[in-house]
Structure 1
Amino acid sequence: MQQYLGTLKRLDGNVVEIPVEKLKTAGIAEDGNVEVFSNEQAVFIRSTDKHCDVCGHNNGKLKQVGQMNMCKVCRDELKNDAD
């Protein structure tokens, strides 16, 4: 029997139900906005409600630095300025 890491869902037309706990784990609010994109192997969903507190750009790789959400570009600039 095949083992899976996630929750299995069957497509219903062109709709897929995503369990709320999976959205919460990804930091996506139930009433939030998301971007859906794909490549040849997977479909990706990410929040569009989170932005870098320094530059304002939306970035899927935000990390909390102190009280701020920062994108990789701003974190790298901050690190380079500290050196």
Structure 2
Amino acid sequence: MNRFLGILAVVGEDGTIKVPLDMLQTAGIKPNSKVELFSDTSNLFVRTAEKFCDICRTNTNTTSVGNQEICKPCLDRITQAAQEKSQTEAE
């Protein structure tokens, strides 16, 4: 059983689709920002093309840490390394 979890949009004659602003905001996409579109055989994906991790350069959601934009995997690695260093120093 497939449950519908989104909204219905109509593809215009010129191929455009209107996406509600609140859905874009939820995804972290602001008006006039650049987005990346990609698809597979049954899905179309949209993501911001303006947020890159300053460490690994991956185009993904990032968190501001000081003046750096850092993705979750890099932030997790930094956190783990800091915890390991703290444990080593405590011993």
TM-score of the aligned structures, taking structure 2 as reference length: 0.68
Larger Rg: 2
Tell me if 1:64 matches 2:63.
yes
Q: What residue is the counterpart of 2:74 in the other structure?
A: 74
- Between Structure 1 and Structure 2, which shows a larger proportion of helix residues? 2
Instruction: State the 1:63 CA deviation.
Output: 4.2
2:52–2:62 contact (8 Å) kept in structure 1: no
What number of residue pairs does the alignment pair up? 80
Q: Unpaired runs of 5+ in structure 2?
A: 85-91
Cα RMSD (Å) of the superposition? 2.5
Q: Which runs of 4+ in 1 moved over 4 A?
A: 65-68
The one-character-per-residue Cα deviations of 1:14-40 (angstroms, maximum 9, x if unpaired) are 111111111111110111000000112
Q: Distance in 1 between matches of 2:23 and 2:81?
A: 37
